[in-house]
Amino acid sequence: MRVLVGDIGGTKTGLGIAEVQGNTVSLDLHRRYPSRKSVSLGEIVTTFFDETGCQCEMAAFAVAGPVVSGRSKTTNLPWQIDAAELQKNLGFKRVGLLNDLEAVAWGVPALTRNELAVLQPGATGAVGNACVVAAGTGLGEAGLFWDGTKHHAFPTEGGHTDFAPTDDREFALLNYLQKKVGRVSWERVVSGIGIGNIYAFLAQWHKAVHPPAVAEALRSDGDIAAAVAEAANNGHAISQEAMELFAVLYGREAGNTALKHMALGGVYLGGGIAPKNLALLQGPGFAEGFRDKGRMRTLMEQIPVQVILDPLTPLYGAARYMAAEIG
């Protein structure tokens, strides 16, 4: 089966042509476009067809936002996406629209061992429900229900649940963010936006001077998360503290999600931040945040945790989703 697949994020939109055979997905003509430079997804799809000379009768798009009745208002983009309108305006016979983390969950079975990095091996032969927690521009979460034979992916908006601090520093972080944004969700601390928020809080708390990379990102409205990570790697103490706190909070929310899904089959970390900061997440902070669940600690130690290394996983998932829809 041949299908146009798309991964629509707050920063980038990826498109490609997928061929599906069972769990195996091959991808061709992959292109990435800056999302905010276009007024709509339709404009980007038209550009892709013009550039590649390719056409498809079917399309499936993974969208960073909730999808209800084939429609989505993207969380971090000013777009309204409607599957029926895309189908009509672009001449498709069929268009599927699904949440981007649901797409990642659909894509997990298509991954090989080389496309995953183990943070915690968990119990041998672990089987059961699984979940995906993905820090990128925002924070996405999805579930994989185990029916005894195979997994069934489903979306959630768990990244928008309330952030829960556990010590004085985190309560101070919560208070700082409440004054800035009001209600504070997990996405405000576990995401690219979150790294910037954590750094800004710590810089104020310690009355610190910004390192050059962060100062430039703040001045030019650049990628603050990447600048903080760079400064941390260069030994800047406040940036290091910010990244370490981010790792702890990422582990804690991944553990929260695992408990809510009883994800004995595993936790998969998606998004762009984890692969770029693998050494950080392999350190003690993430693991302790994940396992620190009181009387459930022994259970948490049995759950496999892996980082998804292949950034094309949402595209594989969108293709598998469409193949399943068509049957």
Residues making up the annotated binding site for ATP are: 6-11
The span from the CA of 6 to the CA of 165, in Å, is: 36
The span from the CA of 92 to the CA of 187, in Å, is: 35
Phi/psi of residue 99, nearest 5 degrees: -60, 145
The span from the CA of 251 to the CA of 117, in Å, is: 15
Structure tokens that stand for 151 in this block: 């997994």
Structure tokens that stand for 122 in this block: 């968990």
Phi/psi of residue 128, nearest 5 degrees: 145, -165
Contact 45, 90 (CB under 8 A): yes
The span from the CA of 315 to the CA of 60, in Å, is: 9
- Kind of pairing between the strands at 139-146 and 305-308: unpaired
Quote the crossing angle between the two packed helices 83-90 and 41-52, to the nearest 10°.
40
Could you give the 3-state DSSP secondary structure of residue 24?
strand
- Binding-site annotation: residue ranges: 6-11
- 177 by Cβ neighbours in 10 Å (0-12 / 13-18 / 19+) ranks as buried
